[in-house]
Structure 1
Amino acid sequence: MNGSLPSSPNVVDIKLKRGSAGLGFNIVGGVDQQYVINDNGVYVSKIKEDGAAGLDGRLHEGDKILAINGVKLEDLKHQVIVDLFRAAGEDVELRVLKKLPNHLNGPTGPRPEPKSSVSSLEILVALAAVAVICGLLYMRLPRKHF
């Protein structure tokens, strides 16, 4: 890899040997298909367990791929990036920005439903109690006959 890409403890180089099923991961992103708002980067969206990346174990979903075989992936369209991966050959070197623990580079799946502090059953019981109280109060009111 050339030294023009930023280096930090979270940036790693990963060498993979393309298997019969390819590199074994899917990507998202690019200038025309932003995966993260205001970020044209390329992210790993899925790792196939039995693929080259899954068997190697260093690449994870949510990691940002900065370069492939020394070619920076910033500011490229998604299809151009896919073509670079397809033409990369058998031995592929990736420069990767590792996803920080407890930090999402972008969406990685469905968001959990927010938990309500009150269940539907509790609401129904409260409404039934209010209805009973209103009924009792109505029955105790004096009646006027005309």
Structure 2
Amino acid sequence: MNGSLNPPTDPVNITLKRGPTGLGFNIVGGVDQRDAMNDSGIYVSKIKEDGAAALDGRLQEGDKILSINGTKLENMAHRQVVNIFRCAGNQVELHVLKRPKEDWTRHRPAPAGWTPSALPVLGFLLALSACVVLVVRRFRSSN
């Protein structure tokens, strides 16, 4: 037993037919976009409503894409993978490692430039700015 609440699943093949708006999902990851766990894999970050992936129903947010039409995605930059998707044709075969939803939300890469501590820091700076404005106004009105 590996101690995991969610045992790993076997990869699955999902074939999608490109629709008018593409394949209908966004990706994150690559060697230039490692997540907090130092994982450089390519993950589905968003399924677009009414897109090809949503209509098919098998691909989910958090799934790890291992290959596109047989091309393995190991050690590739994000831009390289995007280019592979663009040139993949109208029918695209994905080799996918399914990931339980709770694992995805825990390991999901944060947007570029955002950290969990950003909001409290911004709140503190806003409060500090308001205090400075009040002190300056009181000082000016007393003179």
Query: TM tier, shorter chain?
Result: 0.5 to 0.7
Structure 1 position 102, deviation (Å): 3.4
Report the equivalent of 2:85: 85
Instruction: Could you tell me which runs of 5 or more consecutive residues in structure 2 were left unpaired when the two chains were aligned.
Output: 1-7, 111-143
CA deviation digits over 1:5-57, x for unaligned, max 9?
xxx84310000000010000000000011135221100000001210000000
Matches of 1:36 and 1:97, distance apart in 2: 19
**What's the TM-score once normalised by structure 2's chain length?**
0.66
Q: Say if 1:62 and 1:108, in contact at 8 Å, map to a contact too.
A: no
Structure 1 position 76, deviation (Å): 0.4
Residues 101-140 of structure 1 correspond to what in structure 2 (within 5 A)?
Answer: 102-104=102-104, 106-107=107-108
Moved >3 Å (runs of 4+): none
**What's the TM-score once normalised by structure 1's chain length?**
0.65
Alpha-carbon spacing, 1:36–1:20, altered in 2? closer, same or farther (3 Å): farther
Report the equivalent of 1:44: 44
Instruction: Could you tell me which runs of 5 or more consecutive residues in structure 1 were left unpaired when the two chains were aligned.
Output: 1-7, 110-146
Aligned-partner SS, 2:37: coil
Q: Say if 2:35 and 2:109, in contact at 8 Å, map to a contact too.
A: no
Aligned-partner SS, 2:80: helix
CA RMSD after TM alignment = 2.0
Percentage of identical aligned residues:
60
Report the equivalent of 2:64: 64
Matches of 1:27 and 1:18, distance apart in 2: 16
Aligned-partner SS, 1:95: strand
Matches of 2:19 and 2:36, distance apart in 1: 29
Task: Indicate yes or no: 2:14 matched with 1:14.
Answer: yes
Matches of 1:75 and 1:22, distance apart in 2: 24
